[in-house]
């Protein structure tokens, strides 16, 4: 009972922190909106002022994407680290981001978006991620059994191949296309397509619900596959389903927001240090914390050198790496 109360307290605290971060992110920006005005617009609705357009047409979509993408990447990191029993595994380790980057790069160079519209680039990114997922699955399965070590090694090699092909395409690309390619690879939450926003929110929340059904299985995986099998868990079926869930979460996130590193590595590790390794609380806490972290990073990215904007992937790398090193050094010092 005490454990359940503690977990509920953690979730409530993270929800309150999320609400506070979202509210602050709405107000803070190149055009500062007073907190009282922000609260008034939230409660009363459109008053015809420019503030309403800034808050709800520009900043709110970014906040929603930031939460959905950050949560999805963090959730994928928790699942993969639990499956591999390795806290250094992250969503991008499997090469999914490399496939998405290659798809987007080809789309920009071939200018397919000029024919089919702006949604083409995210769609190509997702197709690239799906292609890598299928290739890794096909190469790693042996006698209907998914080999975890094979997934990891194959994913790393495919990531190197995709990165090399990506650089090859960039070397052959026109100068005017390079800016779009480079900016996309650094990550951005500036996405105005309403359908894409709804899609990434749906994938993110759906991924959490699906993954939580396997929280006890992930706890068993911490003991090893053989022990999990002896506990009555169908390890092969569980691995296949979790692999699909993490792949869809990563592929959707990368296709919408570009390559945003460190979220899927740092947040799960930090939550594990703070709240323990029980996946019944780890999945939810990492999900909420990932969204909070990316919203904070995006707020910093668009305000630090306003009116210019930094790529959010740069901020997540610097801030995430610093926080990770600090927490790790404190943990080692405590020991």
- Which tops the pLDDT comparison, 289 or 121? 289
| pLDDT tens readout for residues 234-246 | 888 888 888 889 8
Render the burial of 22-41: b for 16+ CB within 10 Å, e for the rest.
beebbbbbeeebeeebbeeb
* Every domain of the chain and the residues it spans: 2-334
What's residue 212's pLDDT?
92
Which residues have C-beta within 8 Å of that of residue 174, sequence separation ≥ 6?
Answer: 109
Cis? peptide before 179, omega within 30° of 0 = no
- Which tops the pLDDT comparison, 150 or 135? 135
pLDDT confidence of 295, banded at 50, 70, 90? very high
What's residue 132's pLDDT?
86
* Whether residue 248 has pLDDT greater than 70: yes
What's residue 274's pLDDT?
85
What's residue 78's pLDDT?
93
DSSP string, 178-223: HHHHHHHHT-------HHHHHHHHHHHHHHHHHHHTTHHHHHHHTT
Task: Tell me the CATH class for 2-334.
Answer: mainly alpha
What's residue 66's pLDDT?
92
Q: Which of 58-62, 132-136, 283-287, 296-300 has the lowest mean pLDDT?
A: 132-136
| pLDDT tens readout for residues 316-328 | 888 888 877 877 7
- Which tops the pLDDT comparison, 257 or 13? 13
- Which tops the pLDDT comparison, 191 or 174? 174
* Backbone phi, psi, residue 211, to 5°: -70, -35
| pLDDT tens readout for residues 40-91 | 888 777 766 777 888 888 888 999 999 999 999 999 999 988 888 877 788 8
What's residue 292's pLDDT?
95
Share of the chain above pLDDT 70, in %: 94
Coil/strand/helix, residue 231: coil
């Amino acid at each position: 009972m005490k454990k359940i109360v503690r977990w509920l307290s953690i979730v409530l605290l993270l929800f309150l922190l999320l609400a506070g971060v979202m509210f602050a992110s709405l107000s803070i920006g190149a055009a500062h909106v007073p907190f009282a005005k922000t609260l008034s617009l939230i409660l009363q609705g459109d008053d015809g002022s420019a503030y309403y357009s800034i808050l709800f047409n520009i900043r709110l979509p970014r906040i929603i994407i930031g939460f959905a993408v950050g949560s999805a990447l963090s959730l994928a990191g928790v699942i993969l680290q639990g499956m591999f029993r390795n806290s250094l595994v992250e969503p991008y380790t499997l090469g999914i981001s490399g496939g998405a980057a290659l798809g987007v790069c080809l789309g920009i160079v071939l200018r397919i978006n000029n024919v089919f519209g702006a949604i083409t680039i995210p769609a190509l990114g997702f197709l690239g991620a799906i292609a890598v997922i299928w290739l890794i699955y096909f190469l790693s399965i042996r006698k209907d059994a998914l080999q975890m070590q094979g997934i990891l090694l194959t994913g790393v090699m495919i990531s190197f191949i995709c990165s090399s092909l990506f650089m090859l395409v960039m070397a052959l690309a026109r100068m005017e296309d390079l800016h779009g390619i480079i900016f996309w690879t650094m990550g951005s939450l500036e996405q105005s397509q309403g359908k894409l926003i709804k899609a990434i929110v749906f994938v993110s929340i759906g991924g959490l619900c699906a993954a939580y059904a396997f929280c006890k299985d992930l706890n068993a995986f911490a003991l090893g596959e053989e022990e999990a099998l002896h506990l009555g868990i169908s390890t092969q079926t569980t691995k296949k389903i979790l692999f699909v869930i993490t792949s869809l979460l990563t592929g959707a996130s990368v296709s919408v927001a570009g390559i945003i590193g460190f979220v899927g590595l740092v947040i799960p590790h930090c939550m594990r240090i703070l709240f323990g390794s029980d996946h019944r609380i780890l999945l939810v806490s990492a999900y909420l914390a990932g969204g909070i972290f990316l919203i904070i990073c995006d707020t910093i990215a668009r305000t630090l050198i306003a009116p210019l904007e930094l790529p959010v992937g740069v901020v997540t790398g610097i801030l995430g790496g610093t926080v990770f090193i600090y927490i790790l050094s404190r943990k080692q010092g405590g020991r």
